[in-house]
Amino acid sequence: NAGVTQTPKFQVLKTGQSMTLQCAQDMNHEYMSWYRQDPGMGLRLIHYSVGAGITDQGEVPNGYNVSRSTTEDFPLRLLSAAPSQTSVYFCAARDGYEQYFGPGTRLTVT
Partner 1 sequence: GNSVTQMEGPVTLSEEAFLTINCTYTATGYPSLFWYVQYPGEGLQLLLKATKADDKGSNKGFEATYRKETTSFHLEKGSVQVSDSAVYFCALSPLVTPLVFGKGTRLSVIA
Binding site for partner 1 (CB under 8 A): 33, 40-43, 45, 48, 58, 90, 94, 96-104
Residue 74: C-alpha distances to residues 8, 44, 79, 91 (Å):
14, 17, 16, 8
Q: How far is the CB of 58 from partner 1 (least distance, A)?
A: 6
Closest alpha carbon to 107 in 14, 32, 23, 25:
14
How many angstroms separate the CA atoms of 35 and 62, rounded? 13
- Supply the minimum distance, in Å, between the C-beta of residue 94 and partner 1: 7
Shortest Cβ distance from residue 6 to partner 1 (Å)? 8
Q: Which is nearer to partner 1, 13 or 91 (CB)?
A: 91
